[in-house]
Structures are given as structure tokens and as C-alpha cells.
Amino acid sequence: MLEKDILLIINPNASKGRGRKKAKIIQGIFRERGRQCTVAYTKGPGHAVILARKGVQYEYKVIIVAGGDGTVNEVLNGIFSSGKPSVTMGIIPIGRGNDFAWCAGIPTDLEKSVDLIIKGTPRPVDVGLCRGTDHPEGMYFLNGTGFGFEPLVNFKAMEYKALNGMPSYIAAFFNILLRHFPEPYHVKLRIDDEEFELDTQQISVLNGKRMGSAFLLGPRARINDGVFDVFFANRTFRTKKDLLLAVLSFLRGAHANDPKRFTYMNARRVEIVSEKPEMAVHSDGELFTKAGKRFSIEILPAALKLIYGQEK
């Protein structure tokens, strides 16, 4: 399947600074399988976008990203900003959360993930596109985008350099719970043809099932069904206990069956207008804005060719 050398884009700081070592291991595995793999190291935030765009220009047929959800997101945006999103993408998850890789059934074992790329068949997956003041042309995402409380936790978790995965999100949650209890936003929501106006602290637009290494925010989501799974809190969290119970429900995906506190539905397009321009937003865990007001999110069905395993 792989007719030309593979381009591997890797974050050298991923896996607690072991990215370079793992790049050599990955190259060796490809070599053992009779494949050549060119490595390109990211040098800082946003560099993977540039490397992926150049990879498309140099006509690599397969671009692999080794890193976490943030690096995956950058490579995705590089591919789509190239104007030629027909390239095939592969993922080797060595990052902090690896949420989308988990959703897509991509193993964290290096040999198994390389074998999946070599032996697997590219299949189409949906891609999301979020537009807002800071990104008028839009930012693409694979896993999901969050508004309000969830991105506040995500941004705080990114500050914990010594923690990875779920522990960083748990620490961030309790930091916000105890020190910065989130105030609700007054928003107008349009979800396809339905309109809502409410006070809420959380809105999530999901392509994949999991966020934050453990939270099943989209328990019914599929990465190739042509629709988002959207949920929002239809009641404000007034106490720390309310917020804690909500987060516990996210761990199990129980909020999808809790219509008293949450609305959970499918959509192809979502529009959000916040009364106050202070809404925090992430896309695939990456900063979209810390103070936005107006957003539109649309799904691009079957827009990306990805090599992936058995979807969770």
C-alpha cells in the first residue's frame, strides 16, 4: 500500500521527553518491515502544521503523526490547509491523552501501531471545523471541541508538566473546583434547526467518544457516521457538589441518559453566541480561544483518509 517513503512527524517532547528515542525505535520497526520512514521533528507549537503542509507538497502519500492529541490536531490542520486533503494519515499515540487514537482503536504499543499502518486500509473519517473570532477561516478537529468549563480544565491540565493523562485532568479539575468555580454563560444555541437560549457552563461538540483520557463525553459518538454528538448542561451547576456529580457522570457517559441535567443530541451544524465574550474554547485539547463570543461548527463527512483499527 505504501508506495513512497512515509513521513513521520513527531513531537520530540512527547512521552515525557522521549520522543526522539521513540522516533528511532519507530524508524527501526518500519525498516524491519521493509519500509522507509523519513522523520521530521517539531520545534514548537504550530510547527507540525507547517511540516504536514510541506509533506503534502512533497507528495508523501502517507503522513504519520507520533504524539498526543495536540500534535494530531496540528498535522490534521496542516493537511487540510494544504488544499490537498487526499493524503492518508496515520497515528502513533505517544502523547499525554491519546483520546482520539483510543476512540479509533489505534494501539499505544509501537510495534502494533506500525503494523496497523503497514497492513491497514485507509478508511474515511469525519472531520470537524470550528470558526470563531480568533480563527475566522476555521480550525479543524478530529475528536471534539468544548466550550466553557471543559476547556478551563484542559488548559489548566496543560500546565502540569510532571503529570500525564488522567492525573493531570483530575488535578486541574480540583484546582478549578476549589479556586475558580466556573460561572455560567448566557448563550443562544442553534443545533441544526433547533434553537435554545439558556445559562450553561458546558457545551461539547464531539466526533469521538472520549476526552481528558477518561471522560466519555460522547458515549454514543462514531468517528464516521456523518454527525456530531452534541451535549450541553441545561441546568447550571450552583454548588461544588453539583459540579462534582456532573464530572463523575462524564466518566461513565451517564449524562447521555440524564435529560434533567443535560441535553444530548446529534447535529451536523452548531452555532453558539455567548452574551459575554469570555467563553473559553478548545479544539482537540488545543487552545482555540480564551475569550470568544460567536462560533460556528460544522461537520465534514468522510473528509479524511485515516488508517485506524476497531473503533471503540
* Candidate from 62-66, 67-71, 149-153, 297-301 with smallest mean pLDDT: 149-153
Average pLDDT on 95-108 reads 92
CATH at 226 = 2.60.200.40
Assigned domain for 311 exists: no
Please check whether residues 151 and 56 belong to one and the same domain.
no
Query: What is the predicted pLDDT for the residue at 3?
Result: 46
Assigned domain for 114 exists: yes
For residue range 142-175, list pLDDT tens digits in order.
Answer: 999 999 888 888 787 777 766 666 777 788 778 8
CATH at 77 = 3.40.50.10330
Please check whether residues 219 and 139 belong to one and the same domain.
yes
Please check whether residues 68 and 143 belong to one and the same domain.
no
Residue where one domain finishes, among candidates 99, 120, 141:
120
Q: How many domains does the chain have?
A: 2
Assigned domain for 217 exists: yes
Please check whether residues 151 and 281 belong to one and the same domain.
yes
Range of the domain at 51: 6-120
Q: For the chain, how many residues are written?
A: 312
Please check whether residues 158 and 277 belong to one and the same domain.
yes
Percentage of the chain beyond pLDDT 70 is 97
Please check whether residues 164 and 146 belong to one and the same domain.
yes
Please check whether residues 181 and 98 belong to one and the same domain.
no
Indicate the average pLDDT of the chain.
91
Query: What is the predicted pLDDT for the residue at 1?
Result: 40
Assigned domain for 312 exists: no
Please check whether residues 144 and 68 belong to one and the same domain.
no
Rounded to an integer, what distance in angstroms lies between the CA atom of residue 98 and that of residue 210? Answer: 9
Q: Find out whether 281 and 71 touch, Cβ atoms under 8 Å.
A: no
Residue 177 has pLDDT above 80, yes or no: no
Find all residues with CB under 8 Å of 67, minimum gap 6, and list them. 9, 10, 11, 14, 19, 42, 48, 93, 94, 95
Please check whether residues 87 and 214 belong to one and the same domain.
no
Residue where one domain finishes, among candidates 78, 97, 120:
120
Please check whether residues 12 and 135 belong to one and the same domain.
no
Query: What is the predicted pLDDT for the residue at 86?
Result: 82
Residue 52 has pLDDT above 90, yes or no: yes
Residue where one domain finishes, among candidates 77, 96, 120:
120
Please check whether residues 80 and 185 belong to one and the same domain.
no
Residue 85 has pLDDT above 80, yes or no: no
Assigned domain for 1 exists: no
Rounded to an integer, what distance in angstroms lies between the CA atom of residue 95 and that of residue 72? Answer: 10
For residue range 192-218, list pLDDT tens digits in order.
Answer: 999 999 999 999 999 999 998 889 999
Please check whether residues 48 and 90 belong to one and the same domain.
yes
Assigned domain for 296 exists: yes
